[in-house]
Amino acid sequence: MKSLRKTHLLIKIISIRILDLPRPINISLWWNYGSLLGLFLFIQIITGVILSTHYVSDTKLAFLSLVHIRRDVNWGWILHSAHINGASFFMLFIYVHIARGIYYRSFLIKETWNTGVSIFILAIATAFMGYVLPWGQIRFWGATVITNIFSAIPYIGKQLVEWLWGGFSVANPTLNRFFIIHFIMPFIIVFMVILHLIFLHKNGSKNPIGVNSNRDRILFHLYFRIKDIIGFLTATLFFLIIILLRPSVLIDPENFLEANILATPTHIQPEWYFLWLYAILRSIPNKLGGVIALLFAIFILYIPRWFCIKKSARRFCPPIKILFFIEINSWFILSWIGMCPVEEPFISIGQFFTIFYFLYFIAYQIVFRFWYKIQL
């Protein structure tokens, strides 16, 4: 009883501290996506836990168990649709959240930015594990292709892949491992989110003009709480439209077929939120080079804050804004290339925009430092 009272008191203190946290008065709609990510993380955990009570992690029964969930379990169809499409909404919002952080230089807040990037990496791993679980045709072959890239690691690559598979191919042990990891990872993400919020509370939020003044701050409650509620209602409306009217709009049609290890699809592609990474992977002719580029494309997000001049954070730099929007366009083009067959001119286009994706982070530092010097 005493432990329950202490827990209730701790939750009350944390909630009061969050509500009383002063926030910059001029933060805009782009700052709502952090709270929306919390909402959809909660949806993913709740629907995932319920679905796990009916899912069978067996290669012979996994596909049929999902058919059972959608057809026989009460409200199973809406839970399954909410979980699949909730992953797309979560990844969409995390991309917008990261883009906003880069545009407004939130990476200058070291701890908050690093924990945020770590959450992104964990979300990618979790989404990939969950992508394989329904055991559809594209999902099985996608898992085979992606896990096999680790064989490019010198000396230990082959052994590492066999250890990951639990055998000599993607089979029942692989599915069991992916299911267990997929179930555990969201709770690790929750822990990282708590750290993210603690550092956010400690360091405060950036704002559009980069001026951190206590005179231009107001309490989180009531103004920002209402903005978050409006964001929740708007996002939930679009979410319900998708899961009730077009639940399969983001699913590859071949995933409605059970995995067949004897029939390779003519064109293998991942979910839409992995297409840009897939395009970078296949843009490098060398297998090991493609793996390094794939990993570096994610971990490069830790780098921007190391080179930026912190005292110049308030300076408006138009060339940086232009570079940012060019980078966003390159992300969309890489996502489109990921859906195209591996042939010309798509190979050359993918290689060009892969190079530009990495050059952006170098050009950012060069242009920003040059602009800072001429403005002195």
pLDDT of residue 307: 56
- Distance in angstroms (rounded) separating the CA atoms of residues 319 and 112: 26
**Catalytic choice (106, 182, 206, 271):** 271
Count of C-beta atoms within a 10 Å radius of residue 224: 21
DSSP string, 298-310: HHGGGSHHHHS-G
pLDDT digits (tens, 9 = 90+) for 142-183: 888 888 888 888 888 888 888 888 888 888 899 999 999 999
Would you state the pLDDT for residue 367? 75
HSE-CB of 140 using CA atoms within 13 angstroms = 24
- pLDDT per residue as tens digits for the range 18-57: 555 666 676 777 888 888 999 999 999 999 999 999 999 8
252 as an active site residue: the answer is: no
Residue type, 83: H
| Residue 81 CA: distances (Å) to CA of 47, 87, 251, 346 | 10, 10, 10, 33
**Annotated catalytic, 54?**
no
Output b/e per residue, 76-93; b: 16+ Cβ within 10 A: beebbbbbbbbbbbbbbb
CA separation for the pair 100, 333 (Å, rounded):
19
**pLDDT score for 314:** 53
Catalytic residue of the set 205, 283, 312, 330: 205
The stretches in the chain having pLDDT less than 50 are 12-13, 16
Catalytic hit among 227, 258, 287, 335: 227
Concatenate the DSSP letters of all residues of 26-43 into one string: T--GGGGHHHHHHHHHHH
CB distance 85 to 239 below 8 Å: yes
Active site residue 68: no
Give long-range contacts, CB 8 A cutoff, 24+ apart: 123-129: 123/90, 123/91, 123/94, 123/189, 124/274, 124/298, 125/181, 125/185, 126/181, 126/182, 126/185, 126/186, 126/189, 127/87, 127/91, 127/271, 127/273, 127/274, 128/274, 129/178, 129/179, 129/181, 129/182, 129/185
CA distance 267 to 277: 16
pLDDT of residue 191: 94
Find the catalytic residue in 201, 254, 287, 335. 201
**Domain spans, the chain:** 27-210+217-247, 274-376
Query: Which residue is it, tokens 């190391």?
Result: 306
Question: Is residue 205 annotated as a catalytic residue, yes or no?
Answer: yes
CATH code of the region 27-210+217-247 = 1.20.810.10
Query: Which candidate, 71, 65, 41, 67, places its Cα nearest to that of 53?
Result: 65
Identify whether 201 is a catalytic site residue: yes
Task: Please tell me the predicted confidence (pLDDT) of residue 170.
Answer: 87
pTM: 0.88
Pairing of strands 22-24, 217-219: antiparallel
Burial label for 343, CB within 10 Å (0-12, 13-18, 19+), is exposed
Check 228, 283, 327, 330 and give the catalytic one: 228
SS3 211: coil
